[in-house]
Structure formats: C-alpha cells, structure tokens
Homo-oligomer: A and B are copies of this chain.
Amino acid sequence: MKDLFYCVGADIGGTSIKMGLYEKGEDKDGLVCKWEISTDISDNGNRILGDISDSLNRVCADKNISYDKIAGIGIGVPGPVGPDGVVHECVNLGWKSVDVCSEFKKISKIPLVIAGNDANVSALGEMWKGGGRGFDNLIMITLGTGVGGGVIIDGKILSGSIGAAGEIGHITVNPEETRQCNCKSRGCLEQYSSATGIVNIARSIMSIPEKEDISAKTVLDMAKAGDKSADKAVDTAMKYLGMALSNVACVTDPQVFVIGGGVSAAGKFLLDRIEKYYNIYSMNTLKNKEFRIAELGNDAGFYGCIKMVIDNV
C-alpha cells in the first residue's frame, strides 16, 4: 500500500479500552490521536466490540477520516488468544469463547482484524516505540497486580501453540511454597515479584500492623531511603525475578529485557537489583544482557496493536 492509510489499536482492559489511530503514507508516519472509553462488562461483555467500533466511527467523523482508509485494527485482550484468533476465556471481560476477529469484521467492515494477548501486544509496542526500540528479540515483563510477560522473536509476537506463550509470571521460582497462586499452582514468580508480592514479602519481614494499608510503592520508597527491612523485601522479590529471567534467557536468548508496569516506576534502583541477580543465576554465555525500563505506560498495548496491523497490511 503506497497511498495514505490508517491503522487502529484497541487495548481492552477490565476497566477501560485504550485506543490509538495511526496514519501511514509516503510522507506521513505517526499517531493521529489516542483516546479511551470505559469497558462495559455488563451482559457478559457483549457490548465491548460494538463500543469500540462506535467510538472509532465518531473519531473518524471528528477527524474527517474516510472509514474506508482504515487498513486494519489490532485488538488486545486480557487472556490467551488461540492461533485461530479465538479468545477462549477473558474472566475480566465476562467473555467465554469469543471469535474477536470474525465478530469485529462483521460489526465494523474493517478488512483486517488481528487479536493479540494484552501482555504480548504491550511487548510489541515497547519494541516499536518504547524501551525496546532498536531490538527485535526481547522479553517484556509487566510488574503490576500480577506479573505479565511477552516474548518477541525477530520482531514478531511469540503466541505459542494455544496462545499461552509469555506467561512468565507463572514460572515456578519456589517449589517449596505452600500458598496457592491465582493459576492454582504454587510458588509462581507472580507471588513474589508483582506489586502484591512485594507487599506480601514486606508484611512477612517488616512489622506492619495487619490493618495498615501499604503499597509496593511505599516499600520501594522506603528501600530507596535506606530502610533495611524494606530493602530486604525488594531484594527478595528481585532475586526471584532475576532468577526467572535467567531461566527465560536459557530458552529464547533475547537481546534485552524491558521492565514495565507500576512497580517499574522505581527505575534504575529496581533494574540494578534485577540485573545483579540475573547475572548471578545465568550461565556465562548468557550474562550481561540489556535491561531497560518500559517507556509507553498504558499506551504500549495500543501501539503494539497498531504494529501488528502495519506488519500484516
């Protein structure tokens, strides 16, 4: 396609849908606008795809963009996407089995619809426009309420045989754990290195009254300020993460690890710990990889969705 065309990204989360519209032509190559709408999970999330289509229509009308110039849309969903583009379950959206691509094509008449897992499209977004710029083999880790992961090989998302590649948060890092993870297994990375995990570790080694609310940010700030117990909590969480990433490296040998999510706001303080433990647990050949902080925040997802479209137009 040489003429000017548009690509859309829509990253569906449990509370809001982040969207972006991108133009691409001979002398144009950039984001036109981004916006968000709230996620309506009533009626088993049946309104979500229609809402995305309506919202896109309004934005196109606003911007005087002819709808038939839209080459395609990428849609990020919070659950595994099968190789056929079918989502089998998104608990947060109320979805059971939804054929996102066929359904959205029917609603919108957009010729190209590609679905991707939210953590995977974020990884692709960060590679394209964020902390992973200049690399095409990367691992992205999102440290939020849970631990999300995305694997990019040769510039493309690795989805896996049933869409479950990149589930790095469920790597077993402590086989002796007795508490169950949300995934029903025990001792998953997510139990220690997520925001929730950091708080749990802090509670177990610091004297925080049961009733007192404490956030991962507080623990990280205390650690940065020199509090020894807080430091120990962060260190434990990052030890597990460094070890897990050294194990991931044994599998895919990436160029770079990009760390995102709320916890990553702690920046270099955090990266230094992760790198330290990564190098302790890595075999010689795999030591000294690059570690970067993600740059796109909540925009990473729709950027990745747009990139999927550009790569497939």
Residues of A within 8 A of B (CB): 80, 137, 149, 151, 153, 158-172, 175, 181, 183-185, 187-188, 243-244, 246-255, 280-286
The complex places the Cα of A169 from the Cα of B247 at a distance, in Å, of 10
CB distance from A250 to the nearest CB of B (A): 5
Closest 4 CB pairs of A and B: A160-B253, A183-B283, A165-B253, A170-B283
Residue in contact with A285 in the complex, picked from B80, B251, B252, CB distance below 8 Å: B80
Is there an interface contact between A250 and B167, defined as CB atoms closer than 8 Å? yes
Given contacts A165-B252, A165-B253, A172-B281, 16 further A-B contacts (CB under 8 A): A160-B254, A162-B285, A164-B253, A164-B285, A164-B286, A166-B251, A169-B250, A170-B283, A170-B286, A171-B247, A175-B281, A183-B283, A183-B285, A184-B284, A185-B284, A188-B283
18 A-B pairs with C-beta separation under 8 A: A151-B252, A153-B158, A158-B252, A162-B253, A163-B253, A164-B249, A164-B286, A166-B251, A167-B285, A167-B286, A168-B251, A170-B286, A171-B250, A172-B247, A172-B281, A181-B283, A184-B284, A251-B252
CB-based nearest B residue for A168: B250
Residues of B within 8 A of A171 (CB): 247, 250-251
Chain B residues, CB < 8 A from A247: 171-172, 244, 247
Given contacts A167-B283, A283-B185, A284-B183, contact A172 B251 (CB under 8 A): no
In the complex the two chains form, what is the Cα distance from A250 to B158 in whole Å? 12
Residue ID in chain B nearest A170 by CB atoms: B283
A248/B246 in contact, CB under 8 A: no
Question: How far, in Å, is A210 (CB) from chain B's closest CB?
Answer: 30
Asked if A255 and B183 make an inter-chain contact with CB atoms under 8 angstroms apart, the answer reads no
Query: Measured between C-beta atoms, what is the minimum distance from A306 to chain B in Å?
Result: 23
Minimum CB distance partner of A187 in chain B: B281
Selected contact of A185 from candidates B181, B184, B282, CB within 8 Å: B282
A80 / chain B contacts, CB cutoff of 8 Å: 285
Q: Is the CB of A165 within 8 A of B246?
A: no
